Amino acid sequence: MQDAAIRIEPFFLESPRGPLFCLYSTPVDSPPRESILYLHPFAEEMHKSRRMAALQSRAFARAGYAVLQVDLTGCGDSVSDFGDATWVSWLDDARVAHAWLTSQVAGQVTLWGLRIGAGLVVGIAPSLKNISRLLLWQPVINGEQFLTQFLRIKLASEMLSDGQAQSGTKELRAKLEAGEPIEVGGYMLSPDIARGLAGLKLADLHPPCAVEWIEVGANAGADIAPAGRRVVEAWRNTGTIVCTQTVQGDPFWVTQEITECPALVETTMKAMAR
């Protein structure tokens, strides 16, 4: 569906590892007032979330923002296979994308991340210039727990095909720690990415600017999850301004069918207007 008010440009951005596929959304009738860099979730969550990322990016562009969506190394239409990516390469991809975006639009940048992308955003923000705020959608609090949940996808697949799992998460973690990659749900999980995930703990990171933290749940207006509240409290104790909200909707990043959450787009736009 065409939108005469915005322009969406697909292109490949060169990085030290090769071309990264990007979508750049801008308003048509006026220069962008600010820019936004989006970092996507992990593995299949990325594909489940593309629709919501597109809807939000278009809403941002209609409101006068320039938005850069980048497929990180090994993801989507970017260079390399998923199993070739490293945690460091993903952080470097974010730096390359930020550098390109600031060369296009002067002024402040909002870093926007979903799930693991939110963790990458918080981790990379202190090393970047002109970051005005962080927009975190359903951030993963503890990467080690996320890794364990991801490995359970393999165990569930083995149960369905063979009637029993061939190993447990401890055995799979041991293989990764020994340097052996593991195929999970069609994705080759490298030991490096596994280490990066396991080392992600939001409570140990320190945002350099204000944070908008938005979660999706069964009830609008409810508190964010307890684990998230503990992180937010720790950040606030260091002087970081954090606004939290919960909107009603389905967890579109894991639903079987592609799902939309209009309330998330609406709430995000109001948060950006503060």
Delimit the domains of the chain by residue range: 6-142+205-272, 144-199
User: What's the predicted TM-score (pTM) here?
Assistant: 0.95
Give the integer Cα–Cα distance in Å for 246 and 224. 6
| pLDDT band at residue 231 using 50, 70 and 90 as cut-offs | very high
- What per-residue confidence (pLDDT) applies to 166? 60
Q: What 3-state class would DSSP assign to 202?
A: helix
What is the topology classification, in CATH, of domain 6-142+205-272? Rossmann fold (3.40.50)
- What per-residue confidence (pLDDT) applies to 162? 58
Average pLDDT, the chain: 95
Q: Is the pLDDT of residue 163 over 60?
A: no
DSSP for 26-92 reads: EESSS--SEEEEEE--STHHHHHHHHHHHHHHHHHHHTTEEEEEEPPTTSTTSSS-GGG--HHHHHH
- What per-residue confidence (pLDDT) applies to 274? 83
- What per-residue confidence (pLDDT) applies to 113? 98
| pLDDT band at residue 154 using 50, 70 and 90 as cut-offs | confident
| pLDDT band at residue 234 using 50, 70 and 90 as cut-offs | very high
Residue of higher predicted confidence among 162 and 29? 29
Tell me the mean pLDDT in the region 63-70.
Answer: 98
